[in-house]
Structure 1
Amino acid sequence: MQDVTFANGEVELAGSLRVPVEADPPVGGVVLVGGSGPTDRDNGTYFQPIQQHLAEAGFAVLSYDKRGVGRSSGDWRAATMDDLAADAVAALSFLRAQPEVRRQAAGLFGHSEGGWVALRASSARGDLPWVVTNSCPGVSPAEQERYALGNHLKVLHGDGHPEVRRTLTLYDQLAEAGRRNADFSTAQQLVDNAGAPPGLAYYWGDVDERLWSFLKRKQDHDPTPDLLQLRCPHLALFGGADSTVPVADSIRVFAAAACHSARLHRATLTVEVLPGGDHRLQTEGSAALVPGYLAKVSRWLTSHVTPSTGGSS
């Protein structure tokens, strides 16, 4: 493991590179792209067992602090999806430039929001062997946040409680305010006028002017155009007990894109739903990953970097 830095324009990104010491170079490579918010190179602690497993499976692994987090410069709240995708491409280019890495066998693994980022970065390139999305919504951020908030409110109040409907109505009003490009004070007034229902803090608790600008900018991001433009095999992983992402709806979107006539034949889709897994593919109430999850990832990746497979699924 070594600390590294690389640049995307004026933004300097810092990360960690792990190269397997016992594998015969050159090896395959994986760039891990973190989820929403101020995610560091370990995505909290979530990426650590993934990094270790992939290295033991013979892959070089690079993860990095999101711009404006840890040792990376810039500000993720001022970024667009294209900016974040360009950061991921810069990370991939850096990894591919390492002498231990086989260039044509390195790709992107994006968790949650990082899945949108990885899809955007992958859709623009024809030289990737694969892309992996992990708990990546097939719906827009606005729809995904509403789903997550609704599940949170049901835990607080019970399904069908008037407070659930009232808070979700306020959320819808905030989403519409974002589409009108309302400023933060206008959005905050909506919250204040509604009495700032406690359950809304799940979504609104950390929102300030800069974060509101970021949320407005990304709330209607549609992953479908990127899915249609994919030129490589796609592994989509989900936890069956994920209360943050609408898994069934997301799978339908991914499958519809894979069946579309515009999708290249090489851009196959493999979906894995792990029963009992939450948004981080961990078992409920535990930091332990769902049994079999890591093995599924490394087996699929290995099958797509072995020359004899021809990149099919």
Structure 2
Amino acid sequence: MSRIHSNGQDAETQPGSASGRRSRRRRVLRALASMAAAALLAAVALSGLAAWQNTYDLREEHVVIRTGGRALHAVLALPDHGRGPYGVVVFVHGDGPVDATHDTFYRPMWEAFAKAGYASLSWNKPGVGGSPGNWLHQSMADRAAETADAIAWARTRPDLDSHRIGLWGASQAGWVLPKVAATTPGIRFVITISPAVNWLRQGRYNTLAELADRNATPAERDAALARREAGLAVLRRGGTYADYCAAVPTDGTMTADRYHFISRNWTSDATADLGAAADRGIPTLLVLAGHDRNVDAAETEAVYRRELPPRSLRVEHYAQADHGMADLEVVGSDTRALLTAVFAPRSLYTPGYLNSLRAFTERFNP
């Protein structure tokens, strides 16, 4: 028979006894099992939520576009519902080694266009995702010719409406879209997001904006502008990459390919092409961000209003957006940005932007 201690507990179930230890272990194991089961259920639920939120009403078709003697690997994102022929929005990337989906972040826009009855056409830049070539060897004229070839390809598809072909482009595409609009017949509309106008002024603005953002001292500001002027001096005299490295202290971010790209494009200015496109009266949606460190939105708006007829230009401002139309409240926190990208990717964009894309393109439906 078990002994009873003065505290009234059975000796076999006291904390220090073997039986008590086994009982405690069983309770701990049951608790851990319950926690593991709850964690598993939560993981399954969150996995399902992420999968659902990253599923779009689209049918994506991988296609190949021939341009300049090479093949571009592309994606044609068709509406998941309805019957064609669909209008088509041709995407023109900004700077960087961008693939057709822009690491999936184009899909919310593709879905917005699909809801308006439009397909979206986008491709891996040369040298990205299996597309041959090197995008850093392209001029803005090369990129415009590539876009024109993509438009010509789209016009061969019976499921696409050749009378409803529009352009969407961001940032560096500001030097490409006006060229295409001025030289390619039959463009129905243009949507341009945070476009640059003049390469040199844009670069200076970006330099000063980033310095201001990190509260640089006047001495740091002067040093940065001096480095910039030294680099421009090399470009003006047609200097080589070695000349640039000798003249400008570098941290390795300026590669030979990058210098080659800049040397081909540093005189870019969209003003003349905007003027050439103006006579066509192509409806243009200019979208500008309230917190753009890359492009001077005020200058861009002034040039577009000067060069394009008022009847063809619509300007929209998004006060809480950054250069890429991301919502500042979301991307201001790395953790929140990551969670939003996984569980609510449409919410990465500033409120109203996706609906605006849909509403603007619906205007051109029959």
TM-score (ref. length: structure 2): 0.75
Q: SS at 1:166's partner residue? A: helix
Aligned 8 A contact 2:74 2:123 in 1: yes
Matched residue, 2:239: 182
What amino acid maps onto 1:173 in structure 2?
A
- Kindly provide the CA deviation profile for residues 161-180 of structure 1, in whole angstroms up to 9, marking residues without a partner as x: 21012111211221232122
User: Which runs of no fewer than 5 residues in structure 2 stay unpaired?
Assistant: 1-59, 332-336, 338-347
Deviation for aligned residue 1:43: 2.4
Within 2, Cα distance between the matches of 1:11 and 1:299? Answer: 36
Aligned 8 A contact 2:174 2:270 in 1: no
Within 2, Cα distance between the matches of 1:229 and 1:302? Answer: 26
User: Which runs of no fewer than 5 residues in structure 1 stay unpaired?
Assistant: 260-264, 308-313
Aligned 8 A contact 1:115 1:132 in 2: no
Task: Please give the residue correspondences for 1:178-257 in structure 2 after superposition, counting only pairs within 5 Å.
Answer: 178-192=235-249, 196=250, 205-230=252-277, 231=280, 232-257=282-307
Task: Please give the residue correspondences for 1:4-83 in structure 2 after superposition, counting only pairs within 5 Å.
Answer: 4-83=63-142
- Kindly provide the CA deviation profile for residues 205-263 of structure 1, in whole angstroms up to 9, marking residues without a partner as x: 5221221111011111010111011121211111111111100011111111125xxxx
Within 1, Cα distance between the matches of 2:298 and 2:163? Answer: 33
CA RMSD of aligned residues (A): 1.8
Within 2, Cα distance between the matches of 1:106 and 1:124? Answer: 14
Q: SS at 2:268's partner residue? A: coil
Matched residue, 2:156: 97
Please tell me whether residue 292 in structure 1 is matched to residue 352 in structure 2.
yes
Within 1, Cα distance between the matches of 2:284 and 2:229? Answer: 32
What amino acid maps onto 1:36 in structure 2?
D
Within 2, Cα distance between the matches of 1:16 and 1:206? Answer: 30
Matched residue, 1:153: 211
Deviation for aligned residue 1:114: 1.9
Within 1, Cα distance between the matches of 2:126 and 2:257? Answer: 15
Alignment counterpart, residue 275 of structure 1, candidates 301, 319, 325: 319
Aligned 8 A contact 1:35 1:43 in 2: no
Deviation for aligned residue 1:21: 2.9
The total of aligned residue pairs comes to 288
Matched residue, 1:169: 226
TM-score (ref. length: structure 1): 0.87
What amino acid maps onto 1:146 in structure 2?
R
What amino acid maps onto 1:125 in structure 2?
T
Deviation for aligned residue 1:11: 2.0
- Kindly provide the CA deviation profile for residues 257-305 of structure 1, in whole angstroms up to 9, marking residues without a partner as x: 125xxxxx97x111111111101101124251010001111211111x2
Deviation for aligned residue 1:56: 2.8
Please tell me whether residue 141 in structure 1 is matched to residue 199 in structure 2.
yes
Give 1 or 2: higher helix fraction: 2
Aligned 8 A contact 1:17 1:63 in 2: yes
What amino acid maps onto 1:74 in structure 2?
G
Aligned 8 A contact 1:92 1:108 in 2: no
Alignment counterpart, residue 362 of structure 2, candidates 302, 305, 309: 302
Within 2, Cα distance between the matches of 1:17 and 1:147? Answer: 36
Give the share of equivalent positions with the same residue, in percent.
Answer: 28
Aligned 8 A contact 1:179 1:216 in 2: no
Q: SS at 2:291's partner residue? A: coil
Aligned 8 A contact 2:116 2:361 in 1: no
Within 2, Cα distance between the matches of 1:281 and 1:131? Answer: 17
Deviation for aligned residue 1:101: 1.2
Matched residue, 2:30: none
Within 2, Cα distance between the matches of 1:169 and 1:253? Answer: 28
Within 2, Cα distance between the matches of 1:19 and 1:116? Answer: 27
Deviation for aligned residue 1:13: 0.5
Deviation for aligned residue 1:124: 0.4
